[in-house]
Chain A
Amino acid sequence: MPEQTKPILSVKNMSVQFPSLSGVVSAVRNLSFEVGREKVGIIGESGSGKSTTGRAIMRLQPATARVVADEMRFEDVDLLTASEAEMRAIRGSRISMILQDPKYSLNPVMTVGEQIAETVILHERLGRKAARERTLAMLERVNIRDPQRVFNLYPHEVSGGMGQRIMISMMLISSPSLIIADEPTSALDVTVRQQVLSILDDLISERNIGLIFISHDLNLVKSFCDRVIIMYAGRIVETIDASKLDQATHPYTRGLLEALPSLDHPRDRLEVLKRQASWAEA
């Protein structure tokens, strides 16, 4: 399957630097990875640079930050040299991003329908009516029962789980080929998480597209993703198939695994993660 192996995104030696008064601080250093038509998890502690990585791919890093790399290629686009106008045409239509908490990531004073329709009006030049039809169909696709009614609701009138399904419709309606999901379920109740994840999973495999799944939840990534990238202090320490995670060799990954409670192997006392300065250098 050559189609399957050709990467959608390939990043070589990417760093994100923040110039500050006391010199340049790098939030992410020398990152190299590829994403194909698969679900790639990026896992790390808070501050390990995983969200920064996701934003840098879409060139949405903070204004003060600088992204440098040997290569950043998305399909036929060179992300390093693409103009801002080209980037705008890509965002939302070919690469999309799902953010953590729909309570904050949806515009509180626009109806959800309006916000979803905006994406197709922008990228596919649809009229209002056609955009509405597409939105209703998309809402149905994420298992919303009464799309006509939900279309006219404001974000504060929907639950967190529904909010995140609305976010997914907004970001997938223009059929992008790469989704970056930044902790898409960590703001949700445990009971709704699985539901949102399975909707996301269905859409990804149905459309045969790539997903970067940023999370701090090792168990979740292990069961949801195909491959896992483990980050520590702005670097990749290990990349491994999710199914082989238990055989990981890097001491940091081992440490993370051992710090997890498990029903199969109950232990009296969980390991405490021991960090080594050398992991951050490599």
Chain B
Amino acid sequence: MSISQTSAIAPGRAKAALGALRKVAASFAVILTTLLGLLVITFVVGRMVPADPVIAVIGDQADHETYERVYKEMGLDQPLYVQFATYLGNVAHLDFGQSHVTKNAVSSDLARVFPATLELATLATLIGAGFGIPLGIISAVRKGTWVDHLARIVGLLGHSTPIFWLGTIVILVFYAKFGLIPGSGRLDVYNEGLVDGPTHSILVDAVLAGEWEVFGDALLHVAAPALILGYAAMAYLSRMSRSFMLEQLRQEYVLTAKAKGLGQRAIVWRHAFRNIRVQLLTIVALAYCGLLDGTVLIETVFAWPGLGQYLTSALFFADMNAVLGSVLLIGIISIAINLLSDLTYRFLDPRTR
């Protein structure tokens, strides 16, 4: 019996490796179609705008001839599929057109504002995962106790609170009434421009440059928006990790572990937690994508000079190139994060390796 097993496993491994390769290839194909779909959506949205794109460029005072010329220049006389192909080509060259408001190329605007959002969203995800996952696991282990009920209420509140409103109230109380936090921006004026490091994350750059005062100021600025976003992420992550952990604690291998004499801590953290690592990674990735939503609102409230604020001010001025560029960037980030979590999944879970 054991002989036949030994010989059967070796070719099985090769087959498994080939299968894994095929799966990775398949997930890349999925990513490509999703990306294409994304571009179709932004393209269609761009064509749906009721305002005339030509007038947006030349203004409504221009004469008929100029109008015709620009109309042709913009390729609007071409059939839709040609326009779409041109659009694809432009996007491939990172050309999202020009912003009517800032008069810059949208791509350079995005490159300027994105690091601020990245810093905020990453910090919020860390806060959300750092509190949410342990909270969810503890409430699964202590199911039905006051810890569980408390976690449930905290989580449901986090799910139900309008994030822009919470931000406003925090500003009202902690900035306006008590003066504990700065009300807006990433830094106080006198600290601006002191660090200009490689990462464009002020927190990291300040540490690299050894500018501790700037670091403290930046931390104070980012604290309120990051905590509010982190709370929303925590609400989601704690609920999900609770149900993942409950699912594992019902498994038979947990009984085996108990029969071996392991204590609860070893069972939860060494055995069950290892089984939900991969799922947790997936939902942290999802939470990160969801936070990009939250940043749009919270950046507006806290005047945080990031992608969200750029997007909302572009919306306000009907600056369609900027809007579509921002939306596309957010979509691409979401896809990239999902791809990353998918690949890590294959690496971490022995059953899919």
- Which A residues fall within an 8 A CB radius of B? 58, 60, 88-93, 96-97, 99, 101, 104-110, 118-119, 122-123, 143-146, 149, 154, 156-159, 161-162, 167, 170-171, 192, 195
Contacts and interface: CB of A to CB of B under 8 A. Distances in A.
A122 B259 contact: no
13 contacts: A58-B259, A92-B259, A96-B259, A97-B255, A107-B253, A108-B253, A108-B275, A108-B350, A122-B266, A144-B2, A145-B3, A162-B2, A170-B260
A122 B260 contact: yes
Nearest to B13: A157
A146 B1 CA distance: 12
Contacts of A90: 261
B252 interface: yes
Contact of A104 (B3, B9, B253, B349): B253
B253 A119 contact: no
B6 A146 contact: yes
A252 to B, nearest CB: 29
B271 interface: yes
B1 A105 contact: no
Contacts, number: 89
Contact of B260 (A101, A118, A144): A118
Contact of B274 (A58, A96, A106, A109): A109
Q: By CB atoms of chain A within 10 A, which of B257, B266, B271 has the most? A: B257
Contacts of A157: 9
A91 B350 contact: no
Contacts of A91: 258-261
B261 A107 contact: no
Interface in B191-212: none
A161 B1 CA distance: 9
Contacts of A99: 252, 255-256, 259
B349 A109 contact: yes
A195 B1 CA distance: 9
A101 B253 contact: no
Interface residues of B, number: 26
Contacts of A159: 5
A101 B251 CA distance: 12
A104 B258 CA distance: 14
Interface in B236-277: 251-253, 255-263, 266, 271, 274-275, 277
Contacts of A110: 271, 274
Interface in B269-300: 271, 274-275, 277
Contacts of B266: 122
A68 B161 CA distance: 49
B351 interface: yes
A107 B259 contact: no
Given A60-B258, A105-B252, A107-B274, 9 more contacts: A60-B259, A90-B261, A91-B260, A93-B261, A99-B252, A104-B252, A122-B260, A146-B6, A158-B5
Contacts of A144: 2
B263 A88 contact: yes
Contacts of A89: 261
B261 A92 contact: yes
Nearest to A88: B261
B261 A119 contact: yes
A90 B263 CA distance: 12
A119 B260 contact: yes
Interface in B156-207: none
Nearest to A85: B263
Contacts of A118: 260, 262
A122 B271 CA distance: 14
Contacts of A156: 350-351
A97 B262 CA distance: 13
A107 B256 contact: yes
B253 A122 contact: no
B347 to A, nearest CB: 13
A176 to B, nearest CB: 10
Nearest to B351: A156
B26 to A, nearest CB: 21
A145 B259 CA distance: 27
Contacts of B5: 158-159, 162
Interface in B1-18: 1-3, 5-6, 9
A108 B351 contact: yes
B262 A122 contact: yes
Contacts of A158: 5
Given A108-B253, A157-B9, A161-B1, A92 B351 contact: no
A33 B53 CA distance: 89
Contacts of B252: 99, 101, 104-105
A122 B257 CA distance: 11
Contacts of A108: 253, 275, 350-351
Most A CB atoms within 10 A — which of B9, B255, B256, B350?
B256
Contacts of A93: 261
B261 A123 contact: yes
A107 B1 contact: no
Contacts of A106: 253, 256
A51 to B, nearest CB: 11
Contacts of A92: 259-262
B12 to A, nearest CB: 8
A105 to B, nearest CB: 5
A60 B255 contact: yes
Nearest to A170: B260
A102 to B, nearest CB: 9
